């Protein structure tokens, strides 16, 4: 399948003949500057209903920047796919099961100078993670439910739980207020047509193709669309955005293409309708029916739900999690049922992603009862 993500190279191939880490990172920065879509981050005060938002500058973004594999101690049973991200640009390399790994360095950078690099060090001992040392500006250790020593494998750390109250839920008693479903980079659109004009460029994208025939309806096809894109460093448990009853789950098999903006913005790729996904349908009083789509991505073939059909869920409840990697949740609302916050729509219309956390306000119900 030809798509833009397939054009990404291994970072070592971008290095000059000197082989220095400095030159490799410089090369990657140049590539990122040329190709990465623009985006902004903001954090909203979960304790306030204020519409004031803070947009952070692009250079404040601290994503996974560079990954190097060193040593030969640990055997992998299966083929392993190393996903190397520099900002929003992803490089992938397959590693055969004969290759073994002792230490993996993931260097995260938030500044343009090397002295400002932040590092996430993962040291593996056999099949277990012996130590995870994380600089607090990358992952907030104080909000993790268990101490680092509790995690026996990196995937256990990846699907970590947070302490109660770490993600306050906006207007918890008001079911006519919808909240963000994941710690993620959000884009939101009043209609699918808006989404295709400003963000999703896949030629074959449609709400019917996304949801499948068992869930799709004409009300959804004309409805609002919210995309929550998770990066590898994010908290990878997703939560219910609205209160209601789970009617069904529908598994849709598919590929595991990357969900980064390079692929989503490509007219040659149909990531959201071709990737493996699970579609759930939630019936609510305030918003009608809401489709919740958990989409697998590179290295995220495992999607686990903690609820079952027939369960009543309260907005903010944990709904499930993705195993290792980054992925996406898409919520589709029926036509004329939600008024999404203006700043989210405005950012999205400018092709900007907004950084949000679980429980932040998404919008309010306008459904006629």
Residues annotated as catalytic are: 183, 239, 327
| Dihedral sign (CA 32, 28, 356, 310) | positive
| Dihedral sign (CA 111, 62, 167, 187) | positive
> Residue 245's closest CA among 193, 206, 287?
287
Q: What are phi and psi of 242, to 5 degrees?
A: -140, 160
Q: How far apart are CA 161 and CA 34, in angstroms?
A: 37
* Distance between first and last Cα of the chain: 46
How is residue 75 written in tokens? Answer: 């055997």
Residue 318: is it exposed, middle or buried by C-beta count within 10 angstroms (0-12/13-18/19+)? middle
- Token pair 């003949």 is found at 17
Q: Return the CA Rg of the chain.
A: 20
| Dihedral sign (CA 153, 155, 158, 162) | negative
């Amino acid at each position: 399948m030809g798509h833009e993500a397939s054009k990404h190279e291994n970072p070592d191939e971008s290095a000059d003949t000197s082989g220095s880490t400095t030159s490799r990172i410089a090369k990657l920065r140049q590539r990122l500057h040329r190709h990465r879509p623009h985006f902004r981050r903001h954090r909203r005060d979960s304790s306030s209903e204020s519409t004031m938002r803070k947009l952070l500058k692009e250079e404040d973004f601290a994503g996974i920047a560079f990954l190097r594999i060193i040593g030969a101690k640990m055997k992998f049973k299966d083929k392993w796919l190393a996903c190397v991200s520099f900002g929003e640009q992803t490089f992938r390399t397959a590693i055969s099961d004969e290759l073994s790994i002792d230490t993996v360095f993931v260097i995260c950078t938030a500044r343009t100078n090397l002295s400002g690099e932040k590092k996430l060090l993962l040291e593996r001992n056999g099949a277990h993670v012996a130590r995870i040392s994380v600089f607090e500006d990358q992952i907030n250790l104080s909000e993790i439910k268990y101490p680092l020593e509790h995690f026996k494998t990196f995937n256990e750390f990846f699907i970590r739980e947070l302490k109660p109250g770490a993600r306050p839920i906006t207007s918890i008693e008001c079911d006519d207020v919808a909240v963000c479903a994941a710690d993620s980079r959000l884009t939101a659109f009043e209609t699918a047509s808006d989404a295709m004009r400003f963000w999703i460029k896949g030629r074959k994208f449609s709400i019917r193709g996304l949801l499948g025939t068992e869930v799709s309806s004409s009300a959804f096809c004309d409805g609002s669309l919210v995309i929550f894109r998770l990066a590898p460093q994010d908290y990878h448990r997703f939560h219910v955005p609205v209160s209601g009853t789970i009617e069904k789950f529908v598994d849709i098999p598919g590929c595991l293409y990357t969900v980064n903006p390079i692929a989503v913005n490509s007219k040659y790729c149909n990531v959201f309708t071709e990737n493996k996904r699970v579609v759930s349908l939630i019936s609510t009083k305030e918003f009608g029916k809401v489709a919740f789509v958990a989409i697998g991505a590179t290295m995220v073939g495992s999607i686990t739900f903690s609820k079952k059909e027939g369960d009543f869920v309260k907005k903010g409840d944990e709904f499930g999690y993705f195993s290792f990697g980054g992925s996406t949740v898409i919520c589709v609302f029926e036509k004329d049922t939600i008024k999404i916050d203006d700043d989210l729509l405005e950012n999205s219309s400018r092709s900007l992603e907004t950084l949000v956390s679980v429980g932040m306000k998404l919008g309010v119900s306008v459904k006629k009862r």
